[in-house]
Amino acid sequence: MAEYDFTNSQHRVAYAQELFMGALERDPFVQFQGATIDNIVVSIAETARDSSRSTIFLPMELMGLGVRADQLLDENMDEALFLPYDFKGGLITNAVPSPVGKVMDRTNLGLWRESIKPSLMKWFLKTTLQSKFYAISDHCTNIVSVKRDETIAKPSELAVGDVFDTSSIDEALKRAKNGYKNSDGVFYPPLIPYSIEKSNESGVEVYGDFYVMFVAPNSLRSLRNDPVYQDYQTRKAQSALSSAVRGFAGEYNGAILIEQPLITMVNGKVFKAGMLRSDSPAYTTAFGKSYDALDYYKAGDNTVTEVNFLLGCGACAMGFDLTPDYNEDTNYDSGRRVRAYIQSFFGFSKVRFMGESTKEKDSVYHDKDFGVIAIVQTIK
């Protein structure tokens, strides 16, 4: 063992967890993440997955009438149906070499190790977060686009001036609460709302059911210019929610607004992770999942649109390692340098159940986004 090696594997694990937790603290999705369908992001740790494939199970609504009076229970039992949703992931890995010129002692290596920690953490956050934004925005099945006269449209029917405002949120919330039937008679079921709780000295105070809405910068700017929104903010203070939700930008009629920046591309690569527009390019994740360019969301006059989204519980599925791997190769470059690397299993998918059996294909959830409504509006 070189004098600058980690003294044992526990130190490496602890260091990896520091990097991992640092990234999680900056990820706006993590606050809505958990192992059950009561979370917006249903997460599966490594103990529950099979190789590169993970599976979550979506409980369907019971539709029977139940038993009455003196009927026996088995005369009219309901059937609990759980729809499986499979998604894939893979290893995401990156490495950083130390400076060249000398074999580093323990002190120098410790300083270098601390200097690269922010870079590796930011890379891990950028890589995982951009995968999430592309997954959620990919070919959404329930899309809200509203024109200036408040008529419902398709993205291709939008034009300059059809910007994001309270009418956009109202339509998305109406669909989230009551479901939606399109012009072809296809029904999209309601979304499962998310409950926000706050602990205090009296126990748990529940603010109620909310839907989480991620909003891009131009859309939020347009919304704040809407007199209806301004009046709502004047009448209803939301400071209590602000302290509990990372990225909180406001609340409107039960929708928690979370502001996120737009994706920043430099030389064809993601410089900073963020939300997407109709001119966002195709993207391939670090574990090989490919997404199309988003030009199918562009307005009819080619005005750029932003893709905002409303999320309900069970909207997304994620597989990940509880303990990412961090290690250092002390023999790199003939022993002149040390190469540090981090790797972790990661998979993220928007839940869109695809039935196989006749009964599954008859489900109201077949071939539809389970908990995502996209709100596509122009930026000017």
| Residue of 228 and 116 predicted with greater confidence | 228
Phi, psi at residue 104, to the nearest 5°?
A: -85, 140
Contact 63, 189 (CB under 8 A): no
Q: Look at the block and give the residue holding tokens 């609340």.
A: 251
Q: Answer positive or negative: Cα dihedral of 222, 171, 313, 198.
A: positive
What is the gyration radius of the CA atoms in the chain, in angstroms?
A: 24
Cα distances from 349 to residues 59, 232, 294, 332, 361, in angstroms, run: 18, 34, 17, 36, 20
List the Cα angle 272/140/320 in 5-degree steps: 55
**Total residue length of the chain:** 380
d(CA 340, CA 96): 5
β 203-215/255-259 pair status: parallel
Phi, psi at residue 174, to the nearest 5°?
A: -60, -45
Cα distance from N-terminal residue to C-terminal residue, the chain: 61
- Per the prediction, the chain carries an average pLDDT of 86
Contact 84, 346 (CB under 8 A): no
Does pTM surpass 0.85? Answer: yes
- pLDDT of residue 131 exceeding 70, the answer is yes
| Residue of 380 and 107 predicted with greater confidence | 380
pLDDT for the residue numbered 263: 97
Query: Can you tell me the mean pLDDT for 333-339?
Result: 78
d(CA 216, CA 258): 9
Q: How many secondary structure helices (H) and strands (E) does the chain include?
A: 7, 22
Give per-residue pLDDT as tens, 13-56.
788 888 888 888 899 999 999 998 899 999 987 655 556 778 88
Give per-residue pLDDT as tens, 59-88.
665 555 555 666 555 555 555 567 778 888
One-character DSSP codes across 169-200: HHHHHHHHHH-EE-TT--EEPPPPPEEEEEEE
